[in-house]
Amino acid sequence: MATTEGIKIGGTKGHNEEVENDPIFITIYNSFRWKMIPNCTGRYTCRDHKAVSYLKPKMLLDAAGVDSASVDELQQYYVTFDAGIRKDPIYVVPFAENRLTGLITYVKRDDDGGCVSYVHTLNSESGFQLDSRLLDN
């Protein structure tokens, strides 16, 4: 739901209701269909997975209509983990320097390690803060 301050999101499935004001978040949220991740406040997975699973994070931003100058300015982090912690590497794209909102994309490979697909999660301030701590190390 749009408001003069931003868009209202959450409020069900274990999510707190929030008003999100970040223009990049709003553009992406309105460009694709998103589903709340149950009991993960502020985290959404893309329902249009088949249409976007081949797109790297910055390509997704382009496809959503975020202007290319804004996309070029964004930092993109590629994070890998020890095998015992997490199998899939991730891309983390904060939408601003303050790292309040952003995109976290899981890189999925087939069993042979070849074919890659991407699972995009859109994160409001409450959802992104949990994962952006990875970037502070």
DSSP type of residue 97: T
Contact call for residues 23 and 30 (beta carbons, < 8 A): no
Q: What's this model's pTM, rounded to 2 decimal places?
A: 0.85
pLDDT at 135: 58
Which of residues 54 and 96 earns the better pLDDT score? 54
Model confidence pLDDT, tens digit, residues 13-40: 667 888 899 999 999 999 999 999 988 8
pLDDT at 115: 74
d(CA 72, CA 75): 8
Q: Average pLDDT of 117-129? A: 90
d(CA 66, CA 52): 15
Q: Which residues contact 27 (CB under 8 A, 6 or more apart)?
A: 64, 65, 66
pLDDT at 67: 93
pLDDT tier at 62 (50, 70, 90 boundaries)? very high
> Rounded mean pLDDT of the chain?
85
Q: Average pLDDT of 110-128? A: 85
pLDDT above 80 (res 90): yes
Element (H, E) at 71: helix 68-73
